[in-house]
């Protein structure tokens, strides 16, 4: 994929979601999913969430998180991409929303650059084993950059109060993206 070097490719601001923080334990998968869905609702397709669950452009996330958690993380344990994508797909089926979540289990750069270039954010898993200072954690990527030295970076919403954190892309392993089923 072709993209400019030494220049951020990024989406609209994620500042509205800055206060959407994982409150405890291992619920980062649920909270990152809520940010991903809210951005889709606010910027891409208002019909990706059912009526009454969240108002478009609202800073509120409580109802959405309460709807997602039993499907994604019924027990407050760490998650893997398959678990999150299956949980999101159950959510879409339950509410009869014509979307599906697509998960990948290894790497992240190809999926992130493709989706961001198409105007869509991507959830990625961060791994402590790959050097992540977040340890094992789910975040939403909304920008990427490769510099002239070949170093790659993501701009993320980290679920801990930073909506524009910059991290090395090498920390990412596993992705979740959304796909509309309306042709």
CA dist 63 and 37 (Å) reads 13
Express each pLDDT in 139-176 by its tens digit. Answer: 999 999 999 999 999 999 999 999 999 999 999 999 99
Rounded Cα distance between 89 and 99, Å, is 8
In a domain, 24, yes or no: yes
Beta-carbon-side half-sphere exposure of residue 133 (alpha carbons within 13 Å): 6
Residue 138 counted as domain residue: yes
| CATH assignment of the domain containing 25 | 3.90.70.10
How much is the average pLDDT of 70-90? Answer: 94
Lowest mean pLDDT among 74-78, 85-89, 165-169: 74-78
Mark residue 161 as left, alpha or beta (left: phi above 0; alpha: psi -120 to 50; beta: remaining): left
* Domains identified in the chain, total number: 1
Residue 183 has pLDDT above 80, yes or no: no
How high is the pLDDT of residue 41? Answer: 98
Q: Judge whether 12 and 126 are in contact, CB under 8 Å.
A: no
Three-class SS state of 124: strand
d(CA 155, CA 171) in angstroms, rounded, equals 12
Tell me the average pLDDT across 40-66: 96
Within-domain flag for 4: no
Position of tokens 């809210």? Answer: 38
Report pLDDT digits (tens) over 29-51. Answer: 999 999 999 999 999 999 999 99
Question: What confidence tens digit (pLDDT) does each residue in 106-136 have?
Answer: 999 999 999 999 999 999 999 999 999 999 9
Check residue 144 and give its pLDDT. Answer: 99
Please check whether residue 173 lies inside any domain of the structure. yes
Q: Is 103 exposed, middle or buried (0-12, 13-18, 19+ CB in 10 A)?
A: buried
Q: Would 3 be classed as within a structural domain?
A: no
Question: Does any domain span residue 2?
Answer: no
Owning domain of residue 174? 9-180
% pLDDT > 70, the chain: 100
């Amino acid at each position: 994929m072709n993209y400019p070097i030494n220049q951020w490719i990024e989406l609209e601001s994620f500042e509205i979601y800055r206060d959407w923080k994982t409150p405890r334990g291992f619920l980062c998968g649920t909270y990152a999913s809520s940010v991903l869905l809210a951005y889709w609702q606010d910027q891409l397709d208002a019909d990706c969430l059912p009526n009454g669950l969240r108002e478009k452009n609202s800073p509120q996330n409580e109802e959405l998180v309460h709807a997602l958690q039993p499907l994604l993380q019924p027990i407050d344990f760490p998650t893997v991409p398959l678990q999150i994508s299956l949980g999101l797909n159950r959510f879409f089926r339950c509410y009869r929303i014509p979307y599906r979540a697509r998960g990948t289990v290894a790497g992240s750069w190809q999926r992130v650059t493709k989706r961001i270039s198409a105007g869509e954010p991507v959830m990625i898993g961060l791994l402590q084993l790959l050097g992540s200072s977040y340890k094992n954690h789910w975040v939403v990527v909304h920008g990427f950059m490769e510099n002239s030295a070949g170093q790659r970076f993501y701009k993320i919403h980290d679920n801990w109060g930073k909506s524009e954190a910059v991290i090395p892309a090498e920390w990412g392993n596993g992705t979740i993206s959304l796909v509309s089923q309306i042709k």
